[in-house]
């Protein structure tokens, strides 16, 4: 009988997604630091702060959280489909 609590995780299939996620996370850190310095030291940004804030939040979600989530889901799904062989043609 298959254990339901045990999740096998395929790191090899998720590695490119985690690398992409890490790359965008570094960019998000840079945008966050620029925003904090603009508040603290009254630095003039080339765009209004509202646009920078929206760019920071949207890039945070779609840039690093999205690929990391997709990498987790894909790594779990690939491992499960290798066992069942039902979705072999799709993947």
Return the pLDDT at 5: 56
- Minimal CA–CA distance to 25: which of 88, 73, 68? 68
Q: Which residue has the tokens 């925003």?
A: 35
Measured in degrees and rounded to the nearest 5, phi and psi for residue 6 equal -90, 120
Contact 2/72 with Cβ under 8 angstroms?
A: no
Verdict on whether the full-model pTM lies above 0.85: no
Return the pLDDT at 53: 82
Please list the rounded mean pLDDT of every run of 10 residues in the chain (91 residues): 59 84 90 82 77 83 86 77 57 54
């Amino acid at each position: 009988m298959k254990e339901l609590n045990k999740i096998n995780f395929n790191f090899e299939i998720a590695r490119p997604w985690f690398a992409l996620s890490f790359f965008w996370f570094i960019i998000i850190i840079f945008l966050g630091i620029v925003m904090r310095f603009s508040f603290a030291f009254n630095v003039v940004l080339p765009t209004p702060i509202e646009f920078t804030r929206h760019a920071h939040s949207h890039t945070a979600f779609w840039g690093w959280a999205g690929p990391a989530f997709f990498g987790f889901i894909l790594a779990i799904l690939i491992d499960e489909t290798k066992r069942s062989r039902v979705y072999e043609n799709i993947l």
